[in-house]
Structure 1
Amino acid sequence: MEPEAPDLCAPTRISGSTRLFAVLGDPVGQVRAPSLLNPLLARLGHDAVLIPAHVEPDGFAAVFHGLTRLKNLDGLLVTIPHKATALELADEVSPAAAAAGAVNALRREPDGRWRGENFDGIGFVRGLVAVGHLPEGKRIVVMGAGGAGSAIGAALLAAGAARLTLCDPDTARLHGLLARLEEHWPGRAAGEVTPALGDADIVVNATPLGMRADDPRPFPLHALSPRCVVADVIMKPRETALLKAAAALGHPVLHGAHMLDHQLDLYRAFFRLDEAPAGRTATPRTGEGPAR
């Protein structure tokens, strides 16, 4: 029997007691979190909804402070390009987020403080492993040292990558990331503006290039060895121009959807969604700055 198609015209059940979550990004049309988390919230019996919010960089801090004063807001997800700023605005962050220098999820604690975490890296690694590409002992290049690239780089080193090369034209951002990684995994990460790709086992596009049809490729495929894995963190379109071209040349590829799909259980635990649904009250944050 064919599965029943969802009723797209069914009314959304939102009431005065509905709890709120939001995902903040610029752009935000590509985000898949609402389509994954809203069904999960419904299945678990939570009167809660996750909404997308398009926030430009110069307004992010104001929007963050405004949203976190909503007493029925329980959590935030953060996507491009706000992850580094979100870390600075959080009241406390996990060691993984601190190493990456970026946050992609924040939850309200019972005392009203906001705790930041980063699941991009572990989600990416789990997706990589799930399709049979183990990072342990591999030579890996990550293009982009922003929020996603930072988290992925840290997670790959934690998973045993033999050598990690990070590439970003923003040298200040690149050197800052390398300094953080050196504290945890000395001697295993290097930075280059233009990387040597010929001996890489895995190359990851962690830049926004590929979200638009007219974007240039983030790196030349002709420079790769034949069996090099090509991974992309972009989720929409699923088949980026980079992945299409890499697959046509015979390279194994990893789609961006894997990174989010393997974060769903992490979000479930982080936001304590397995606890019995109940109305909660919390004191809005009042602190002037981060205390990590």
Structure 2
Amino acid sequence: MPDRPENTPEVTGRTRVLGILAHPTDHVKAPPKINRIARERASDAIMVPMNVAPENFEGFVNSLRTVLSFDGAIVTVPFKQAILPLCDELSEQAAAVGAANVIRRLADGRLVGDQLDGVGFLRGLEHAGIQVAGRSVYLVGAGGAANAVAFALAQAGIGRLTLANRSQHKSDELRERLLRHYPTLAVSLGTQDPSGHQLIINGTSLGMQATDPLPLDVTRLTPQMTVAEVVQEPERTALLVAAENVGCRVHLGRHMLEHQVQLMADFLGL
């Protein structure tokens, strides 16, 4: 039997279990970070990947209510929106965004959902010295991560926002929800052309696989643009490589997780 890797938490009968719900789980980066925080905080808890097929997701999540040693989970692709109706309570942010990326199990088995993607993404930009207030932003996607990023950017006071998504009805829905909360924000629907914007963001999972198409027309990028990702693996997606070749400043997807992991640990009770 191989030796236990150095600094791996020792699992006991009292260990609290945390999960990361995804499909697949190969790309997930949070467990080592959360487990390191658990050690730093002397918390007897461990996070493990939970690869759940979409057709089994509802039944699996409901079964977690009965696991007395389960405290909560990070929720990622493709479940950030599917988790909403399975929660008994949602934070104001999760309800507004229409997606949750963390759940906590209460002592009575109820599940509480929250949304930390947006604030994590925004803090990552701020830490890198990328200002968003007053800027023109082009955002690809209208799923869970893109929704969270859009609301965080609106709250931070961007100048205008263009939404580009393959399913226009999802872009329409996101635009309507944004305007309900931020009625003065200039929000328009766009195509694959990011021209005329200062900050370009891929808020989709396109780029995780080598065979994925590019999320936008990279021939329209200019050196004055900053191009940011939410995809964490690979670290430099095809979009970021193309943007670097043009001379754009790029912002990696891992920064979003790095700046929300402490918030996630707090939410999960570590």
Report the TM range for the smaller structure's normalisation. Answer: over 0.9
Q: 2:66: which partner in 1?
A: 69
Residue 269 of structure 1 deviates from its aligned partner by 2.3
Q: 1:177: which partner in 2?
A: 174
For residues 29-82 of structure 1, the C-alpha deviation after alignment (integer angstroms, 9 at most, x for no partner) is 111110100111112111111010111222111111112221111011100110
TM-score under structure 2 length normalisation: 0.94
1:137 equivalent to 2:134? Answer: yes
Q: 1:204: which partner in 2?
A: 201
**Selected match of 2:86 from 73, 84, 89:** 89
Q: What amino acid is the match of 1:97?
A: A
For residues 220-271 of structure 1, the C-alpha deviation after alignment (integer angstroms, 9 at most, x for no partner) is 2221232110001111111111111211221000000000000022113222
1:161 equivalent to 2:161? Answer: no
For residues 143-191 of structure 1, the C-alpha deviation after alignment (integer angstroms, 9 at most, x for no partner) is 0110000000000000111111111122332222222111111142534
Tell me the percent identity.
38
Count of matched residue positions in the alignment of Structure 1 and Structure 2: 268
Unaligned runs of 5+ in 2: none
Q: 1:57: which partner in 2?
A: 54
1:100 equivalent to 2:110? Answer: no
Greater mean deviation of Cα atoms: 182-191 or 64-73? 182-191
Equivalent residues in 2 for 1:10-25, closer than 5 Å? 12-25=9-22
1:221 equivalent to 2:218? Answer: yes
**2:243 & 2:27 partners in 1: Cα distance?**
22
Which structure is richer in relative contact order (CA contacts within 8 A, separation 6 or more)? 1
Unaligned runs of 5+ in 1: 1-6, 274-292
Q: 2:149: which partner in 1?
A: 152
Q: What amino acid is the match of 1:214?
A: T
Question: Is the 2:230–2:252 contact (alpha carbons within 8 Å) kept by the matching residues of 1?
Answer: yes
Q: 2:244: which partner in 1?
A: 247
TM-score under structure 1 length normalisation: 0.87
Residue 113 of structure 1 deviates from its aligned partner by 2.2
Give SS of 2:163's match.
strand
Question: Is the 1:165–1:195 contact (alpha carbons within 8 Å) kept by the matching residues of 2?
Answer: no
Residue 124 of structure 1 deviates from its aligned partner by 0.4
